[in-house]
Amino acid sequence: MAKARGVGGTPATLALTAAGIAFEVRAYEHDPRATGYGLEAAEALGVEPARVFKTLLASLDPSTGSGQRARLVVGIVPVSGQLDLKALARTLGGSKAVMAEVAAAERATGYVAGGISPVGQKRTHPTVLDSSALDHDTILVSGGRRGFDLELAPRDLVAITCAVTATIGR
């Protein structure tokens, strides 16, 4: 996979290029009536859903007695499954996690729902990548807008997002 050059348009592609990380743009015609964005991407790109990952934000309540406030965290799981919020909370040392409100996720990342990329977000958030990603040479994640995915090595995604890997999908 060659490093994409001259690919502008999203903070994700700019961040990957600046970091020297190889990626491939995988664009498709997004159907505005679609609601399952990840499954739509897998079908449109002819990729098995287990290799296409969705980026979800959750609000993590800290452990009891820690004195910390709830914070937004990122979970990245295959589109063929769901995010296990208890596993996400456990992995990050919290007591529980709930899905973030869409508006809060969009504000915190700078991306629109259905196109939230784990790369190039406005703010850095603790990130967990489902360990199943490591079973593949490359995976696809949103590139920062609907109909625009990026294919890259999962270890490169871990490096650029400072993610940990754990079983957070079900």
Check residue 6 and give left, alpha or beta (phi > 0: left; psi -120 to 50: alpha): left
The answer to whether 125 and 56 are in contact (CB under 8 A) is no
Interval 30-39 mean pLDDT: 77
Model pLDDT for residues 115-157, shown as the tens digit of each residue: 899 999 999 999 999 999 999 999 999 999 888 999 999 999 9
- Give the span between the Cα atoms of 70 and 91, in whole angstroms: 15
Tokens 């769901």 found at: 82
Tell which wins on pLDDT, 29 or 4. Answer: 29
Over 70: is that where the pLDDT of 66 sits? Answer: no
Interval 17-23 mean pLDDT: 95
> Which helix (H) or strand (E) covers residue 24, if one does?
strand 24-27
pLDDT at position 33 is: 77
pLDDT at position 8 is: 54
The answer to whether 137 and 153 are in contact (CB under 8 A) is yes
Interval 70-90 mean pLDDT: 94
Residue 57: count of CB within 10 angstroms of its CB: 26
Q: What is the pTM of this model?
A: 0.88
User: Could you tell me the domains of the chain?
Assistant: 11-166 (3.90.960.10)
Interval 58-68 mean pLDDT: 69
Mean pLDDT computed over every residue of the chain: 88
pLDDT at position 7 is: 46
pLDDT at position 126 is: 95
Interval 63-78 mean pLDDT: 77
